[in-house]
Structure 1
Amino acid sequence: MFAPAFAESVDALPAAEGKVILEVYGAINNTNANDVAQFDRVMLEALPRTRIETHTSVTDGAHVFEGFLVRDLLKQVGASGSVVVVTALNYYTIDYPIEEFDEYDIILAYAMDGERLRARNKGPLWVVYPRDDHPELQDIRYDYRWVWQVVSLEIL
C-alpha cells in the first residue's frame, strides 16, 4: 500500500489553548483531542510561514497571501490517506488528491495583503494556489478549489 510522504511521525501535538479554528481528522497519526488534531491560531502561525503573490478569480489584481503549506500541516498530523476533504464554514466541500499538495505550493492563508483573514473576508483560512506561477492552475476547474472560511480537513 502506498504511503504518501506526509505520513511521518512527529512529537505529540500540544493541546490547543485558544479558540480552535481548524480541525483535521481521519487517516492521521498525530492528534490532540480524541481522534482529532485541533489547531488554534497560534499553533497554525507557528508552522513555517509561506507567502504567495498571485491573482484570484474572485478579487481584483494580485494579492500577497501569507499562511502555511498544506503539506506541512499534513506532515504535522501524520496524514496517510489519498484524499483531503476540505470543508468550509457553510459546509461547502472539495476533495483534493493528496499528491496535489506535493505538486504545488498550496497554502492555507490566514492573511491577505498584511491583513488577518476573518469570516467576513474569506477567513479564518483560505486555500490559495500559486495560480500565477502555473498556467494550468488558471483553469476554472482549479478556481472551485479555492475554498475560503475553511474549518476542517478530513483525510481519507
Structure 2
Amino acid sequence: MRRIVLVLALALITALPAVTAARAAGPVVLTVTGEIERTNRGPFDPFTDSLFAALQETFERAHELTLDDLAALPQETVEVAYPNWPGPVTVTGPTLASVIDLVGAKADRVLVQAVDGYAPAFRLSEVRAGTFVLATASDGKPLPLGGRGPLWLVFPAGSYAGQTAEDDSGLAWAVFHLKITTGE
C-alpha cells in the first residue's frame, strides 16, 4: 500500500511542473465567476484577490484565462463606430459568447466588470445573438493596460434591446471579470 501511495505522490510531483508551466504562459487577465460548470481555481482570497476585495466581489470557485487562452478561442474581427468616436475602430478577439460557452454558463446573465468597477450586464441570449467581442487588439495592435486593454468589450450599435445608435455606454474597457448570474 505504501508503495502505491509513493508512486502516486511521485506521479503528482512529476506532473506539477507541467501544470505550473502551463499556468506560467502568461498572467491571468480575465476571471469568470458565478454559475459556471468548468473552473480551474479555488475561492476568493482577500489578500491575493485585492481588486476583487476592493470591489466587494467574492466567489467560491472561478475560471481564469490568460491572453494565450483567449487567443486559442476562435477570433472575431469587427469594425465598430459610434457618433461620438473620432472614427471607426476595427477590433479583434474572441466573442463573449465563446468565453461564456468555454466555462459552461448555467445562468441567463453576464456582468462584465472593468477595473474601475463599471459593470454593465447583458442577457446571454443577447450576447449569443449579437457580435459582442472581448477585444484584445484594436486596429491590429494589442490593447494596452492604461488604454482600453488588455480586454475591451466591444459590439455594434443595436446589439441589445433598447440600445440606440448613439449609445456606447455598455462598452467596457479594462475588463478583468465576468460574473455569470441569474437576473431580471
TM-score (norm 1): 0.82
**Of 41, 57, 67, which aligns to 2:67?**
41
Matches within 5 A, 1:1-156: 16-17=23-24, 18-34=26-42, 35-56=61-82, 59-131=85-157, 137-140=163-166, 142-156=167-181
CA distance in 2, matches of 1:118, 1:57: 24
* Higher mean C-alpha displacement, 57-66 vs 82-91: 57-66
**Number of aligned residues:** 141
Q: Which amino acid aligns with 1:131?
A: A
Q: Which amino acid aligns with 1:20?
A: V
CA distance in 2, matches of 1:133, 1:90: 23
CA distance in 1, matches of 2:90, 2:163: 17
CA distance in 1, matches of 2:74, 2:124: 19
Sequence identity percentage: 29
CA distance in 2, matches of 1:112, 1:58: 17
Q: Which runs of 5+ in 2 are unaligned?
A: 1-18, 43-60
Residue 83 of structure 1 deviates from its aligned partner by 1.1
CA distance in 2, matches of 1:44, 1:62: 24
Aligned-partner SS, 2:107: coil
Inter-CA distance 133–22: structure 2 relative to 1 (3 Å threshold) = closer
Aligned-partner SS, 2:98: helix
Relative contact order, higher structure (CA 8 A, sep 6+): 1
Greater strand proportion = 1
Match of 1:8 in 2: none
Q: Which runs of 5+ in 1 are unaligned?
A: 1-13
Runs of 4+ in 1 over 6 A off after TM superposition: none
- Which structure's CA Rg is the greater one? 2
Deviations, residues 100-128 of structure 1 (Å, cap 9, x unaligned): 11120111001000110012221011111
Deviations, residues 16-58 of structure 1 (Å, cap 9, x unaligned): 4321100001010001112110001111111101100121355
CA distance in 2, matches of 1:24, 1:16: 16
Q: Which amino acid aligns with 2:39?
A: T
CA distance in 2, matches of 1:96, 1:132: 13
Deviations, residues 1-20 of structure 1 (Å, cap 9, x unaligned): xxxxxxxxxxxxx8643211
The answer (yes or no) to whether the contact 1:89–1:151 under 8 Å persists in 2 is yes
TM-score (norm 2): 0.70
Q: Which amino acid aligns with 2:120?
A: I
Greater helix proportion = 2
